[in-house]
Amino acid sequence: MRAMINISISVFLVNAGAPVTALTPTIWVYDLTTGVAVVNGLAMTELGHGLYVYRLQATDQLHAYKWAIDGGTGLTAATDRYKDGIWQNAPVKGY
């Protein structure tokens, strides 16, 4: 049986270089090993000072995960609003 792990995905959101609080960022997470979307537009939790987190629970440690975050309409520049990242501990499907 494979070990399941929890992954904390965090993002630092700024507007013109300044940290922004009281946003409602959403996150999408894809399992790149299987090609399946595992999170579809769920809310992230604000930690403070522009930091937000989403805890991806019970994920397979041998899979790779890619995420996209939309900081919301409160951020004016696309480079501030949209963020992405990857957690990879396994081969990616099709690559």
Condensed to tens digits (0 to 9), the pLDDT of residues 26-42 reads 999 999 989 999 999 99
| Domain-located, residue 95 | no
| Domain-located, residue 47 | yes
Structural domain count of the chain: 1
Q: Sign of the C-alpha dihedral, residues 45, 74, 26, 9?
A: negative
Confidence band for 18, pLDDT divided at 50, 70 and 90: very high
CATH (domain of 64): 2.60.40.10
| Domain-located, residue 73 | yes
| Domain-located, residue 83 | yes
**What does each C-alpha distance from 70 to 50, 54, 76 come to in angstroms?**
14, 13, 12
| Domain-located, residue 66 | yes
| Domain-located, residue 93 | no
So what's the pLDDT on residue 95?
A: 52
| Domain-located, residue 35 | yes
| Domain-located, residue 92 | no
